[in-house]
Structure 1
Amino acid sequence: MNDWRMGMQIVFLRFLAGLTLLLMVGTSAFAQTAANKSEHLLGPGDVIRITVYQNPDLTSEARLSENGSITFPLLGSIELNGLGLNAAEQKIGRLLREGKFVIKPQVAVQLLEIRSAQISIIGQVGKPGRYPIDTTNSKVSEMIASAGGIAATGDDVVTLVGTRSGKPVKIDIDLPAIYEAGDSQLDVRVANGDIIYVHKAPNFYIYGEVQRPGVYQLERGTTLLKALAQSGGVTPRGTERGMKLHRRDETGAVTVIEPKMNDVLEAEDIIYIRESLF
Structure 2
Amino acid sequence: MFKSIISAGLLWLCVLGAVPGMAQAGEDNPDYRLGGGDLIHISVFQNPDFSGDRRVAESGEITVPLVGPVMVGNLTIRQAEEKVAQMLSDGKFVVRPQVAIVPLQMRSAQVSVIGLVGKPGRYQLDSLNMRVTDALSMAGGIVQSAPTVGLNGGDVVILKGQRNGRPFSKTIDLADIFLKGQDDEDVPVVGGDTLYVARAPQYYVYGEVQKPGTYKIERRMTVRQALAQAGGLTPRGSQNGIRIYRKGDNGQEVELSAELDEALQDNDTLYFKQSVF
Change (3 A) 1:83 1:263: closer
- Give the C-alpha shift of residue 206 in structure 1: 0.7
Q: Report how far residue 188 of structure 1 moved.
A: 3.9
Aligned to 1:9: none
Give the whole-Å Cα distance in 2 for the aligned partners of 1:271 and 1:103: 77
Query: Rg: which structure is higher?
Result: 1
User: Is 1:86 the equivalent of 2:81?
Assistant: yes
| Residue 38 (structure 1) shift | 3.5
Q: In the alignment, what sits opposite 1:144?
A: 136
Do structure 1's residue 180 and structure 2's residue 175 form an aligned pair? no
**TM-score normalised by the chain length of structure 2:** 0.72
The structure-2 alpha-carbon separation of the partners of 1:171 and 1:41, relative to structure 1 and needing over 3 Å to count, comes to closer
Residues 245-276 of structure 1 show CA distances to partners (whole Å, capped at 9, x for unaligned) of 11113431112111111112111111111111
Aligned residue number for residue 110 of structure 2: 118
Once the two structures are overlaid, the 10-residue window that deviates more, 205-214 or 132-141, is: 132-141
Contact 1:117 1:135 survives alignment (8 Å): no
**Are 2:241 and 2:257, in contact at CA under 8 Å, matched by a contact in 1?**
yes
Correspondences of 1:9-48 after superposition (within 5 Å): 38=30, 40-48=32-40
TM-aligned CA distance change 1:220 to 1:104, over 3 Å: closer
Structure 2: where are the runs of 5+ without partners?
Answer: 1-25, 145-151
CA distance in 2, matches of 1:35, 1:237: 65
| C-alpha distance 202-168 of structure 1, shift in aligned 2 (>3 A) | same
1:208-255, Cα deviation, whole Å (9 max, x unpaired): 111111111222222111111111111111211111111113431112
The aligned residue for residue 238 of structure 1 is 237
**Is contact 1:126-1:150 (8 Å) kept?**
yes
The answer as to whether partners of 2:85 and 2:97 remain within 8 angstroms in 1 is no
Q: 1:164 to 1:68 in 2, by over 3 A?
A: same
Letter in 2 for 1:45: G
Identity %: 39
Distance 2:63 2:36 in 1: 13
Partners of 1:199 and 1:38 in 2: CA distance: 29
| Counterparts of 2:31 and 2:229, CA distance in 1 | 51
- Measure, in 2, the Cα distance between the counterparts of 1:163 and 1:196: 13
Displacement of 1:107 after TM fit? 5.8
**Distance in 2, Cα, partners of 1:94 & 1:72:** 13
Which structure carries more helix by proportion? 1
Which residue identity is paired with 1:119? V
Cα RMSD between the aligned structures? 3.4
When residues 87 and 170 of structure 1 are mapped into structure 2, their CA distance, relative to the original with a 3 A threshold, is: closer
Give the length in aligned residue pairs. 242
Q: Which residue of 1 aligns with 2:248?
A: 249
Cα deviation digits, residues 114-153 of structure 1 (max 9, x gap): 2344321111223322234489744323332333322212
- In the TM superposition, residue 35 of structure 1 has moved relative to its aligned partner by 6.7
Deviations 1:31-65 (A, max 9, x none): xxx97993754333321124565656x65533212
Query: CA 1:167 to 1:87, structure 2 compared with 1: closer, same or farther past 3 Å?
Result: closer
Q: 1:91 to 1:265 in 2, by over 3 A?
A: same
Deviation at 1:196, TM superposition (A): 0.8
Counterpart in the other structure of 2:222: 223
Partner amino acid, structure 2, of 1:198: V
Structure-2 separation of matches of 1:159 and 1:220: 18
